Amino acid sequence: MVSTTNLKTTKSEEIFDAAQKLMPGGVSSPVRAFKSVGGQPIVFDRVKGAYIWDVDGNQYIDYVGTWGPAICGHAHPEVISALHDALEKGTSFGAPSVLENVMAEMVIDAVPSIEMVRFVNSGTEACMAVLRLMRAFTGRDKLIKFEGCYHGHADMFLVKAGSGVATLGLPDSPGVPKSVTSNTLTAPFNDLEAVKALFAENPDQIAGVILEPVVGNAGFIPPDAGFLEGLRLITQENGALLVFDEVMTGFRIAYGGAQEKFGITPDLTTLGKIIGGGLPVGAYGGRRDIMSMVAPAGPMYQAGTLSGNPLAMTAGIKTLELLQKPGTYEQLDKITKKLANGLLQIARETGNAACGGYISAMFGMFFTAGPVHNYEDAKKSDLSKFSRFHRGMLERGIYLAPSQFEAGFTSLAHTDSDIDRTLSAARDVMSSL
């Protein structure tokens, strides 16, 4: 375990320097480039359990978990064993398989809103398809999303988006026509009055509201009391659909996701990450009458060659089986509580303004006194301080998301010893900020 500030990453630097000549920014997804925290990213060699090893041989405790899927820990032996067996049968079918039925039944049994489900290949694809479905079902074109919520990189969602867009300071993206985003309306998260005003200004024009029920792509921001309930009521009163983007929260903050945790049932839900066990996956589902609009059952077209891929289904099935074991979410809650509360206590004791929290296996901390209710509040964070904190933790063998505007994740593989080492490193770093 790296324990000093003399982190040697020569091979990582060489590989990343070469990557920048081969790929835009040297990466396949923007946040990985460390633009908002400075320095060069480490290049991974392998992962196992709660740990990462880079190409220079340094070991780190990981709180990114491949951005969420690794809730059981990286390369879980039961998942790997199941994948070995699946590989022998082929990597892609492009045709129906019983694995899709098994996974569909597991998702439908777990997620309150889902009566039928369609598998796709990514969270972006799921959100893109669910928007088309919202419009097809309601006959309306407009959409409400929330500032700082990220629903993938499809054109119509890149309006006041979070995640990499927030990290890079891009309010929108060049190449997105105004005509595409003209029907995307935005409101601050946790602001019901703003949502009511948008419905009043656009009567019978809004197909629905989509949100991360717990924001993870502007940092960790939970819903205020009554917010989700209010959205459910407003959408019902206006003949619009409510969509929970649970790509991040699904099977993470509860087995049935945020809708189980908060007792609010949306009309449609998008999923990803955990249901693929670390392999590329996405899904959308909801009420049977709405999902019956999807081709070939109905007229709304959506397709994908690798949808329902047997490897992703296999890894997802095994992961969900592991999560069903008694005590799983109690363990996740215990370990995450110790980490999140410990970080905030250390911040207070070292004189650093900070706020944050956790739900089950998802957590976050902002370097601002807070409270943080929405993206505007999150942007008040001291980004320079976060950058120094991130680098200091990295040098001490702790791998955190390289952006203030990303949630953190724990897993069943994290131990009390891991948390103790993390908090010890945090005290050392925060004392010097």
Residues annotated catalytic, as ranges: 150, 245, 273
Write the DSSP assignment of 324-383 as a string of letters: TSTTHHHHHHHHHHHHHHHHHHHHHHTT---EEEEETTEEEEESSS----SHHHHTTS-H
Q: Which residue is listed with tokens 């099977």? A: 251
Contact 319, 277 (CB under 8 A): yes
Look at strands 398-399 and 59-62 and give their pairing: parallel
Please report which residue ranges of 297-327 form alpha helices under DSSP H.
Answer: 310-323
Radius of gyration of the chain (CA): 21
Cα atoms in the Cβ-side hemisphere of radius 13 Å centred on 108: 14
Contact 60, 2 (CB under 8 A): yes
Please give the angle made by the CA atoms of 370, 375 and 378, to the nearest 5 degrees: 35
3-state secondary structure of 62: strand
Q: Is 203 exposed, middle or buried (0-12, 13-18, 19+ CB in 10 A)?
A: exposed
3-state secondary structure of 266: coil
3-state secondary structure of 120: strand
Buried b (16+ CB within 10 A) or exposed e, 213-243: bbbbbbbbbbbeeebbebbbebbeebebbbb
Q: Enter the tokens of residue 133.
A: 């479905």
296 preceded by a cis bond (ω within 30 of 0): yes
Q: Is 384 exposed, middle or buried (0-12, 13-18, 19+ CB in 10 A)?
A: exposed
